Amino acid sequence: MIIDVNAYLGRWPFMPLKYETAKDILALMDRAGIDKAVVTSLNSVFYYNYEAGNFELCEVCKQYSGRLIPFAVINLNFVNWRDHLRECVDKYGVKGVKLHPDYHKYSLLSNDMSKLAEEARKLNLPIFIQTSLLDMRHHPGYCFVPETSILEVAQVINQYRENVFIVGGGKHFSSTVQQLLRYASKNQNFYISSDGLGGPFDCIERLIEQIGSSRLLFGTRMPILYAEASKLMIEKSDISEDDKRKILGENAKKIFSLIEE
Amino acid sequence: MIIDIHVHIPYRGLEDVEVGWREKFERMLIAAQKAGIERQVILGLSSNNEFIRELVDKHRDKLIGFVRGCCTDPNAPVIVERFVKEYGFRGVKIHAEPNWPLSGLLSAHAIFLKAAELNVPVVIHSWHDEEGLTHEARTLIIQEGFSFPVRIIAELGRRYPDTKFVFAHMGGMWAKALNAARPYPNIYFDTSGFDPERGIIESAVEMIGADRILFGSDAPGRSYISQLAKVKYADIGESDKRKILGENALKLLKEVS
């Protein structure tokens, strides 16, 4: 089974991408041969009221529960984020938390992050930290958003060792991952989403040599990126078929079944 | 046929090759073949063009050499001519150099004229346009000397109608770059080096047409497969994909006099 851990529904505000709805994303999944996708709401990143984006997403996911797995975006700048997260889990069966500290402008070192880590442990939810949605060099000048510091991400991983983290990112993500591995080298409680790993030419092989295949997850960041780019990179890499199966779905399946336990 | 117009020799910094680059390049050749890329244009990144010559001589059926045009070297046009005429190189690469930022591109006048005379294209590194960026953005994303004013694209297009320019990485700030290039048929772009973002190739085809877009990967820094996916899975017609993936490059490279 092929599971994409990093897809989005909703509107990309900077250009029409043509793929915004659940049906659009399902069509992209079918084209790329993806069985299930973790989806989060782009509207939750950009709306004034991020909760509205999560509710839209959760309603849609109810119709496609066999294929779309909802993660709720949490904005720690909103006082009652905990109530909202509870509602998303209790009412809609949300399977994880997605953080965009870059757009939402909060620090991962805040007290609220500590409370979120505790809440996520209680609810058995992985926390996905997306350090950037897009290579900063392509941000329009009127909306330049510096990506989340990987040092903060490493600090969070080191601090909350009982939590499960997934990390995805933007500009030169392979280099960023190398920094992360250096600063959080003692911990195994984090996974890397593959969507930002666009290079070097042998980056998948090199990363597997370093961390093994159990901690890399197939992610696409569709519709912002082409889903096939990340999938083909894994499928055509010089690693074993067993490793490919793990990355493309088995690892994610394991994380989600752990959650269900 | 798939032709990759933007490949580097494994390098360290801008002016030096990596230790073990020959072995690494052999692995790159295998990876490119696996991706379905038949020909690769190797761009001189450091001023030492001889390394590129060595590779091209060894793999004539797979590689095409572009000579590095060093803009601070008054002898550059002579070097360009020698590499094109004597060694079969098919183009020129221009990049920022120590103490020579890309904003000084107009001073490469003699190289541009020589390229026109030889009928070879000039690939120019282009990415970081400062105009319209905040101070914070400039500090975070622009390396010293790498600032590339997009307006210069139009200036070059206008001043040198007989020189064919290929701006790398879709000009960096792609929407502005494509807009600047629109009136000038001698301006091309390559698709290399940025993430597989949906909408850029589609917009390029819409704004300047598929005939002026060339596939490039920016390997070894980028994955051949991932970069190819940008064109193969773009929402454009199949004939446009064929043009971008190889036909345009074939035409441009065959026109060498």
Q: Which of A102, A226, A234 to mutate to test the interface with B (most CBs of B within 10 A)?
A: A226
Q: What are A11's two structure tokens?
A: 């509107």
Residue-range definition of the domain harbouring residue B250: 3-254
Does residue A158 surpass a pLDDT of 80? yes
Chain-chain contact of B219 with A146 (C-beta, under 8 angstroms): no
* Res B99: pLDDT: 85
Pick the closest to residue B180 from B142, B129, B133 (CA basis).
Answer: B129
- The pLDDT assigned to B145 comes to 77
Mean pLDDT, 10 residues at a time, over chain B (257 residues)? Answer: 96 82 96 97 87 95 96 95 97 92 93 98 93 91 85 97 98 96 98 97 98 98 97 98 98 73
Cβ <8 Å between A198 and B222: yes
Interchain contact B230–A (C-beta under 8 A): yes
Q: Can you list the pairs that B236-239 forms with residues at least 24 positions away whose Cβ atoms lie under 8 Å?
A: B236/B201, B236/B202, B236/B205, B236/B210, B237/B210, B239/B210
Asked if B223 has any chain A CB less than 8 Å from its own CB, the reply is yes
B132 Cβ neighbours under 8 A, 6+ residues apart: A141, A142, B176
Asked casually if ipTM beats, i.e. exceeds, 0.90, the reply is yes
In this complex, which of B203, B217, B233 lies closest to A226 when CB atoms are compared? B233
Superfamily in which the A3-260 domain is placed by CATH:
Metal-dependent hydrolases (3.20.20.140)
Coil, strand or helix at B166: strand
Provide the residue ranges of all domains of chain A, joining segments of one domain with +.
3-260
Task: State what percent of residues in chain A have pLDDT above 90.
Answer: 96
Provide the domain count of chain B.
Answer: 1
At B198 the three-state DSSP class reads coil
Structure tokens belonging to residue A181: 């591995």
Helix (H, G, I), strand (E, B) or coil at B187: strand
CATH code of the domain containing B234: 3.20.20.140
Does the pLDDT at position A261 exceed 50? no
Each residue of A31-56: pLDDT tens digit? 999 999 999 999 999 999 999 999 99
For position B13, what pLDDT does the model report?
Answer: 74
Tokens of B158: 């206008």
- What integer pLDDT is reported at residue A55 of this predicted model? 98
Q: What is the pLDDT of residue B255?
A: 55
Q: Point out which residues pair with B124 in neighbouring strands.
A: B94, B167
Q: Give the model confidence (pLDDT) of B196-247 as tens digits.
A: 999 999 999 999 999 999 999 999 999 999 999 999 999 999 999 999 999 9
| A163-188 pLDDT per residue, tens | 999 999 989 999 999 999 999 988 99
Tell me the mean pLDDT in the region A17-33.
Answer: 97
Structure token digits, residue B206: 């819409």
pLDDT at position B98: 84
